[in-house]
């Protein structure tokens, strides 16, 4: 099963992914594409620092990793193509002219290809009680974070298996475990 965890910066995606590996059999975490490609592509998170080519590279990386899993395995994707598309659309709205409509159309097509391989899309929204953490990777622009959070939620509405995950860590884990169990074929 392929489970993607999508959300803005500092929402607990990575924490949730790693916690789920402790309770879901035969599971592993697929790292966030941005972190994997950051040094190779000299990526800097933000509406005016990323390019369409950067976002496409993140989406293509996600597409490739979605096919690299074994039967019976549960892979938890820390972010997915949907996140890259949301960042691209926010960049466009913020005035980054590199994100033309034709580029966004291409990113939408590639994102839909990636999303078609995901069995469960989890959306983790911003918790006002959790501050934006500085880790040297993610953007620390609070307004940008809010816009990305809203765009991810909006884009996820169109995915048939999208589920918003809320609550405490244990409530989130229980919710995801119940969703996974409901999706497993009965024997």
Per the structure, how many domains does the chain have? Answer: 1
Beta sheet of 2-6, edge-to-edge order: 27-30, 74-78, 2-6, 120-124, 162-165
What CATH number has the domain bearing residue 167? Answer: 3.40.50.300
pLDDT of residue 187: 59
For residues 144 and 70, give the distance between their C-alpha atoms in angstroms, rounded to a whole number: 36
Region 93-116 average pLDDT: 97
Q: Which two tokens stand for residue 94?
A: 């913020």
Measured on CA atoms in the order 114, 116, 117, 122, is the torsion positive or negative?
A: positive
Please tell me the pTM assigned to this model.
Answer: 0.94
pLDDT in tens, 124-169: 999 888 778 887 777 888 899 999 999 999 999 989 999 999 999 9
pLDDT of residue 71: 84
Provide the residue range defining the domain that includes 28.
2-183
Runs of H (alpha helix) within 42-80: 52-66
Mean pLDDT for the chain overall: 93
């Amino acid at each position: 099963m392929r489970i993607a965890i999508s959300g803005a910066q500092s929402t607990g995606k990575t924490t949730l992914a790693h916690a789920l590996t402790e309770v879901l059999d035969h599971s592993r975490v697929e790292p966030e594409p941005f972190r994997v490609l950051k040094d190779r592509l000299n990526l800097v998170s933000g509406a005016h620092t990323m390019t369409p080519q950067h976002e496409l590279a993140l989406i293509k990386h996600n597409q490739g990793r979605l096919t690299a899993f074994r039967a019976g395995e549960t892979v938890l994707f820390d972010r997915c193509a949907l996140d890259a598309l949301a960042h691209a659309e926010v960049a466009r709205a913020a005035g980054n002219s590199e994100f033309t409509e034709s580029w966004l159309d291409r990113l939408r097509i590639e994102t839909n290809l990636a999303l078609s391989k995901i069995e469960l899309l989890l959306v983790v929204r911003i918790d006002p009680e959790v501050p934006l953490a500085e880790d040297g990777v993610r953007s620390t622009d609070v307004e940008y974070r809010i816009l990305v959070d809203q765009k991810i939620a909006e884009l996820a509405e169109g995915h048939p298996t999208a589920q918003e995950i809320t609550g405490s860590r244990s409530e989130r884990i229980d919710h995801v475990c119940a969703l996974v169990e409901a999706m497993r074929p009965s024997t």
